[in-house]
Amino acid sequence: MNKSNNGLKKEKKTIEIMIKKYCQHFHNTEIKLCDNCSVLLKYANNRLDNCYYLKKFGTKPICYKCPIHCYKPDMRKKIRKIMRYMGPRMMFSHPIMGLNHLFHRFQKINKIPKKIAT
């Protein structure tokens, strides 16, 4: 398995855990996600699977640093709310994953162009 696939799996797992924990806390779910969070998770995974940078360059910045905002405005608002809530809490519930996510937030990626040539 190549590095980009492994990174993509980690990113998908991180977002899944964040959405599940958020849903458990705010929507009183236990095992399954509520309908809204389930739709958001599917949407986020689809966006990751279809990432322009990953397909074109084999690597991608974390969404926070990406110059392209591929989420629809309403979905972006929802995911930002979850990230703001769960980001600091990941250090307690999943410390390795939280540290890895924090590390990538400050990591500089040189291969990613700021603008896409059309």
Please write the tens of the pLDDT for every residue from 1-46: 344 677 788 889 989 999 999 999 999 998 899 999 999 999 999 9
Please write the tens of the pLDDT for every residue from 76-114: 999 999 989 998 888 888 888 777 767 666 666 666 666
Whole-prediction pTM? 0.81
For residue 18, what pLDDT is reported? 92
Written as one string, the DSSP assignment of 53-93 is HHHHHS----GGG-SS--S-HHHHHHHHHHHHHHHHHHHHH
According to DSSP, residue 14 is labeled H
Token pair for residue 107? 């990591």
Q: Could you tell me what percent of the chain has a pLDDT over 90?
A: 42
